[in-house]
Amino acid sequence: MEVITTIKEMKEHSSRSRREGKTIAFVPTMGFFHEGHLSLMREGRKRGDLLVVSLFVNPAQFAPHEDFKNYPRDFESDRKMAEESGTDILFAPEVSEMYPSDHQTTVQVEEVTRNLCGQSRPTHFRGVTTVVLMLFEIVMPHVALFGEKDYQQLVTIRQMVKDLHMSVEIAGMPTVREADGLAMSSRNTYLLPEERRAALSLNRSLRKAKDLLQQGEQRASRILDEINGILQSEPFVRVDYIKICDADTLKDVDRIDGNVVIALAAYLGKTRLIDNLTYRNPISPPTKAQ
Ligand code: AMP
């Protein structure tokens, strides 16, 4: 595996690979790898002749009060894990390489970023789409892999690619969980033992919601009440939002008669975690995100 830190070198490598007729698969990340990241890399390995993984903690997607400075970082461990998962190139630029001091262009996807995390993190998705567009320009992938764990991010990137007529395939991959159901996240490392225990209620509440859906419950309010009840009974959990949305438009639904995503965000102490469940109505066509 080669580590590349400059945009020039990364572009040269990708251009050469494309000229040689190679398919480039790309996994953008912020590092501190866990099985969720590795599952994307393994799938990328299968889909591309060249597998590029980027490791870049993107300041533009953090608000000033958020955890950019403290975001967990461990380059040596990440380097090793990426290599073991079959990565050919780890692209790890400095912030000044990606955002020179005169940088002034951003990309904003409008409607699908308004709800859910967009309400508590109003500048977050602009930061994500801006960096992902830059990374696509630099890495020039044929296919890029993203986790459904960040469902709104996946929908937003698909929308950007569609709206801007970009030539990259977006592949969504299932959420990888710990054995006890907690969705893997680099931020889980922040959790104190009692917060880690309480965090299990996120997945537990979504599983309960799934049971209700499978029993035929169609009233969103009824399911939201149930989830709220489970989360509110945990003293270490402070709910940011729980919503049931159309799986494609991410608009709230009252009645569940199509494909939906049940998405939630909650604080465990200072740590904000997200999780979601997509539910495909048996008679509806597939969602765009999957
Ligand atoms: P991050 O480093 O958190 O920006 O994540 C990089 C990529 O890994 C994104 O596409 C995430 O959606 C994906 N990812 C993060 N956690 C998981 C997980 N538990 N399961 C599957 N994919 C994940």
Ligand 1 contacts (CB < 6 A) are: 29-30, 36-37, 39-40, 146-147, 149-150, 173, 175-176, 183-186
The CA–CA distances, whole Å, from 49 to 14, 25, 233, 270 equal 11, 7, 49, 41
Q: Where are the beta strands (DSSP E) in 13-151?
A: 24-29, 50-55, 89-91, 143-147
Mutate which of 27, 62, 81, 149 for ligand 1? The one with the most ligand atoms within 8 Å of its CB, which is 149
By most ligand atoms within 8 Å of CB, the mutation choice from 34, 56, 90, 150 for ligand 1 is: 150
pLDDT at 288 over 90: no
Q: How do residues 53-104 score in pLDDT, each as one tens digit?
A: 999 999 999 999 999 999 999 999 999 999 999 999 999 999 999 999 999 9
The region of weakest confidence among 42-46, 125-129, 172-176, 280-284 is 280-284
Q: Distance (Å, rounded) from C-alpha 195 to C-alpha 197? A: 5
pLDDT of residue 290: 60
As a whole number of angstroms, the distance between CA 191 and CA 271 comes to 7
Q: Render pLDDT for 102-116 as a digit per residue (tens, 0 to 9).
A: 999 999 999 999 999
Separation of CA 186 and ligand 1 centre (Å): 8
Reply yes or no on whether 37 is catalytic: yes
In sequence order, the 6+-apart residues with CB closer than 8 A to the CB of 70 are none
Distance CA 30, CA 58 (A): 7
- Nearest-CA residue for ligand 1 atom 10 is 146
Strand stretches in the chain, DSSP E: 2-4, 24-29, 50-55, 89-91, 143-147, 169-173, 237-246, 260-268, 271-279
pLDDT in tens, 227-253: 999 999 999 999 999 999 999 999 999
Q: What's the CA gap between 224 and 68, in Å, rounded?
A: 31
A 10 A CB-CB count for 187 gives 16
